Amino acid sequence: MSDLPRFDHSVASSEVVQALSTVGCAIIERLVDTEVVDHVLQEMQPFIDATPYGSENFTGLQTKRTGALLARSRSSIDLVAHPLVLDITQQILHPYASTFQLHLTQIIAIDPGGQAQGLHRDQWCFNMFPFPPEMDVEVSTIWALDDFTEENGATRVIPNSLLDPPSAITDDHRAVPATMPKGSIVLYTGRTIHGGGANRSQKVRRALNVDYILGWLRQEENQYLSCPPDVARELPEHVQKLAGYSMGAFALGYQDDIRDPFAVLNGREGGSSFGGLTTPVPIVNG
């Protein structure tokens, strides 16, 4: 069993991009200080406590999935919008779109005794739509909010599975646990086969799952409800755009009378949304 590509926090984004483009995954150890993780957990704990367990095996009968991080935890911005992660994501997704956006945010807490999740690809959330096999539509991340060990259910990843047939989800023997210390992150693409591990320890294993997708695809977590305008208005502008309060393409995502949603959100009225991209695309529908 080979280990996954592993880097320290000083790594250049290009090295991680290379790993994601070939092996399909990469670990960056101790990318944030443990104090940042502790602040996120402190802010989110009341919401985690109130979250019900999953209703079936895939979401986890002993697993809680607590979302809406941007609205509930200001400290989470340091993870959700980490500059290195966004740089890596931009390089992976740029060939297929002019923008990318937040897909989902969720703290995943697996209780002791929680079973392993079935292996899968994240981009199958799009009804298993057959994107071209070499096309990356999503970059997924798991932040370790506790030390990740094989015993407590570290995320399992099948390296070099980017082009494998769907039947490869049964290849449990190829799955490698993404063991890493608290404050670390494992990144993988929507084509990479992976799944949560079984928690055989005596403590809850907590992680933050943050995913990003092409700007012209629908978000898995509806950010406009999870982080409504009155909340989003208080966030840094680059985070507002990341959440989806911006144009996804030349004519995608405008508000009412062809207004820029980012301008409307921030009280900057007037002006058409169209034509804001570096390379304008002709409007084909009247």
Residue by residue, pLDDT tens for the chain (286 residues) are 468 999 999 999 999 999 999 999 999 999 999 999 999 999 999 999 999 999 999 999 999 999 999 999 999 999 999 999 999 999 999 999 999 999 999 999 999 999 999 999 999 999 888 899 999 999 999 999 999 999 999 999 999 999 999 999 999 999 999 999 999 999 999 999 999 999 999 999 999 999 999 999 999 999 999 999 999 999 999 999 999 999 999 889 999 999 999 999 999 865 555 554 433 322 233 3
The CATH code of the domain that includes 31 is 2.60.120.620
Q: How far apart are CA 124 and CA 70, in angstroms?
A: 25
Residue 30's identity, in one-letter code, is R
**Alpha helices of 53-187 — where are they, by DSSP H?**
69-72, 77-80, 83-93
State how many domains the chain has.
1
Give which of 57, 184, 170, 191 is closest to 123, Cα–Cα: 191
Q: How far apart are CA 237 and CA 213, in angstroms?
A: 19
C-alpha distances (whole Å) from 162 to each of 21, 78, 122, 189, 256 are 9, 29, 12, 8, 40
- In this prediction, residue 273 carries a pLDDT of 55
Residue 38 lies in a domain: yes
Question: How do 25-29 and 63-67 pair as beta strands?
Answer: unpaired
Q: What is the pTM of this model?
A: 0.93
Percent helix, percent strand, percent coil in the chain, to nearest 5: 30, 20, 50
Name the DSSP class of 191. T
Residue 230 lies in a domain: no
Residue 75 lies in a domain: yes
**Burial class of residue 266, CB neighbours in 10 A (0-12, 13-18, 19+):** middle
Q: How far apart are CA 243 and CA 247, in angstroms?
A: 11
Structure tokens at 60: 């986890």
Number of Cβ within a 10 Å radius of residue 267:
7
Residue 183 lies in a domain: yes
Residue 264 lies in a domain: no
User: Rg (Cα) of the chain, in Å, rounded?
Assistant: 19
Name the DSSP class of 168. G
Residue 282 lies in a domain: no
Print the domain residue range for 204. Answer: 6-225
Name the DSSP class of 184. -
Residue with tokens 């607590």: 66
Residue 148 lies in a domain: yes
Give which of 285, 79, 273, 55 is closest to 182, Cα–Cα: 79
Residue 276 lies in a domain: no
- In this prediction, residue 60 carries a pLDDT of 96
Paired with 66 in beta bridges are: 107
